[in-house]
Structure 1
Amino acid sequence: MFDKLINLLNVPLFTFNGQSITVLAILAVPMWILLAFWVAKLCIKAISNRLMAKQKDPNFIQLIERILFVVTLAVIFITTLSLLNIPITAFAFLSGAIAIGFGFGAQNIINNFISGWILIGEKPIRLGDFLELEGTKGTVEQINTRSTRIRRVDGVHLLVPNSKLLENTVINWTLRDKLVRGSVSVGVAYGSDVRLVERLIEEVVQAQEQVLEDPKIGVFFQDFGDSALMFEAYFWIHSNVEGGIRSVASNIRFCIDEKFRQNNIVIAFPQRDVHLAGELTIARSRTK
């Protein structure tokens, strides 16, 4: 019975390039592919976990995963051809024709694929970076083969083609470090003690826990405005999201308002003085 089953599995179904393709070879191929992918997935995951345990750069880990996956695909393809007794040279002409057609029909896909490898290797954009692209701000969550996933500040996910990140101007707020500069402007009424105003603003900014001592903060008397004496404070914080700088700036404004009230400093508002030339005549209405 077993011999009959073996003979049945060895029955040739068709011939390809002089090689007989049997039933056993046809059945063995999907089993081999499933098993190979399963083992490869376990191995790649084990290597990634080991690199993560050593606190390696997430971008480096993703690069290693990408290389191992490509190598796995190549090994599975070559081994599958070997199981089917099909030489690789049999695909020489066919692969050339497919490559030409694929090149014309999938230029954007190939462009994005190569761009993805450049992003991972060159690292102009890394996982966790805070980007600004065409007025949209968000954090990079994943760099895939074709596109990069970005989470906007409002929580919406964007899938941006990799080529767009290389061919367009992208502002990377955290390319070298997490330093972000913020500023707060305030106008005080004419006649205010400007040195006192400068000192109060500096005290408020320095009191914020998130504000860094180095680079130093700066308080500048910017201008004599139409209705106010304009001051502006510059400060630096560590932040990788837009809300970080906005939150600190908001706290500084609250504290400045409170500090100015305690020291009788008036925050200016637009005012206009109207001068009338000549005599002012009041017309009274007559009632019958």
Structure 2
Amino acid sequence: MIDIDNVYSMLSYKFFTVADHSITIGGVLLIPILALVGFWATKYLVRLLTSKLTTRNADPNIIHLVRRLLYALAISIIAITVLDIINVPITAFAFLSGAIAIGFGFGAQNIINNFISGWILMWEKPIRIGDFLEVENAKGIVEEINTRSTRFRRVDGVHMLIPNSKLLENTIVNWTLVDKLMRTSVKIGVAYGSPAKKVAALILQATEEQEGVLNTPKPQVIFEDFGDNALIFEVNFWIQSNVEGGLRVAKSNVRFRLDELLAEHNIVIAFPQRDIHIDGSLRLLKNDVPD
């Protein structure tokens, strides 16, 4: 049979002393238990709150920010609670924490910079989850904003981890910062002699027939120039899309329809041509063939 007095005596044994406060074996054993319970309770509450916010169609960026704040707050509360229960004053770590902070600051400037930048991104929301970005030569969608880096999925499916400080310090093109309206254009050249006004009307018809093209602002056809080999036309129009692929598909659909309309009206899409003028007479010489 277990002797309760002996167990209590063993748990009360002084393991070491911190700032004139004794730490017992029972206190040391209590640390992982409290930490596990605290983390489990925090994870459960965060999951419950996230589920409720999701069912209410809350902004994913707000949900992400709330989760980060709750985890940071919970870790602080758990640490302070554990130290208080095992009778360790927080002031005992003042000098040690100061020395660690100085060393950590010198050795991890980039990490701290990215950490602070991550909180700025989540709080100010210049870049949000789901935004379509152009970072240097890469284009893609933001999938997750973490405290150190942002996960970025390129249009070719490759994932990139971009340091948060880079997103704040460099020029980033956010295609969907305010809205998802995007303008694009299609150019075409038709052969000289084609009826220009008829061509402009067919281009406008091909554009307005597309489902994704917006009526406001209205598509605009411009007779751009008399080219070397063609009459150059350009149509500008707006669509609502959150990815670059939407622009490419819309332009492709306009070209397909325009090719059909021009063929129906016997209007030739221009191609490079050259006229050769020969001055003087042309003689063909027949070489003497030896017998």
Q: Which TM class, normalised by the smaller chain length?
A: over 0.9
Matched AA of 1:177: D
1:54 Cα offset (Å): 1.4
1:49 Cα offset (Å): 1.1
* Unaligned segments of structure 1, at least 5 residues: none
Q: Distance in 1 between matches of 2:217 and 2:141?
A: 25
String of CA shifts for 1:231-262, please: whole Å, max 9, x gaps.
Answer: 01111111111111101111111111111111
Q: Distance in 2 between matches of 1:49 and 1:147?
A: 25
Query: Does 1:275 pair with 2:277?
Result: yes
Query: 1:28: which partner in 2?
Result: 30
Matched AA of 1:118: I
Query: 1:125: which partner in 2?
Result: 127
Matched AA of 2:75: L
Of 39, 42, 45, the residue aligned with 2:41 is 39
Query: 1:112: which partner in 2?
Result: 114
String of CA shifts for 1:145-188, please: whole Å, max 9, x gaps.
Answer: 00000111011111000000010110000000001111110000
1:58 Cα offset (Å): 1.0
Q: Distance in 2 between matches of 1:3 and 1:217?
A: 88
Q: Distance in 2 between matches of 1:145 and 1:133?
A: 19
Q: Distance in 1 between matches of 2:27 and 2:250?
A: 67
RMSD (CA atoms): 0.9
1:287 Cα offset (Å): 2.1
Q: Secondary structure of 2:30's match?
A: helix
Q: Distance in 1 between matches of 2:231 and 2:146?
A: 52
The alignment's TM-score, normalised by the length of structure 1, stands at: 0.98
Of 4, 7, 20, the residue aligned with 2:6 is 4
Q: Secondary structure of 1:4's match?
A: helix
Number of residue pairs the alignment of both structures matches: 288
String of CA shifts for 1:55-83, please: whole Å, max 9, x gaps.
Answer: 11111111111111111011011112112
Q: Secondary structure of 1:236's match?
A: strand
Deviating more after overlay: 149-158 vs 8-17: 8-17
Query: 1:66: which partner in 2?
Result: 68
Alignment of 1:17-166 (within 5 A): 17-166=19-168
Large movers: runs of 4+ above 4 Å: none
Q: Secondary structure of 2:179's match?
A: coil
Alignment of 1:236-247 (within 5 A): 236-247=238-249
1:51 Cα offset (Å): 1.3
The alignment's TM-score, normalised by the length of structure 2, stands at: 0.97
Matched AA of 1:146: R
1:6 Cα offset (Å): 1.3
Percent sequence identity over aligned pairs: 56
Q: Secondary structure of 1:187's match?
A: strand
Q: Distance in 2 between matches of 1:4 and 1:97?
A: 40
Q: Distance in 1 between matches of 2:198 and 2:287?
A: 53
Q: Distance in 1 between matches of 2:89 and 2:247?
A: 62
Q: Distance in 2 between matches of 1:172 and 1:82?
A: 47
Matched AA of 1:178: K
- Is the CA contact 2:262–2:268 (under 8 Å) kept in the aligned structure 1? yes
Query: Does 1:227 pair with 2:224?
Result: no
String of CA shifts for 1:174-206, please: whole Å, max 9, x gaps.
Answer: 000001111110000000000100000100000
Alignment of 1:131-210 (within 5 A): 131-210=133-212
Of 214, 217, 224, the residue aligned with 1:215 is 217
* Unaligned segments of structure 2, at least 5 residues: none
1:115 Cα offset (Å): 0.5
Matched AA of 2:69: I
- Is the CA contact 2:18–2:92 (under 8 Å) kept in the aligned structure 1? no
Deviating more after overlay: 6-15 vs 150-159: 6-15
Q: Distance in 1 between matches of 2:256 and 2:289?
A: 55
Matched AA of 1:97: A
1:2 Cα offset (Å): 1.6
1:84 Cα offset (Å): 2.5
Matched AA of 2:232: M
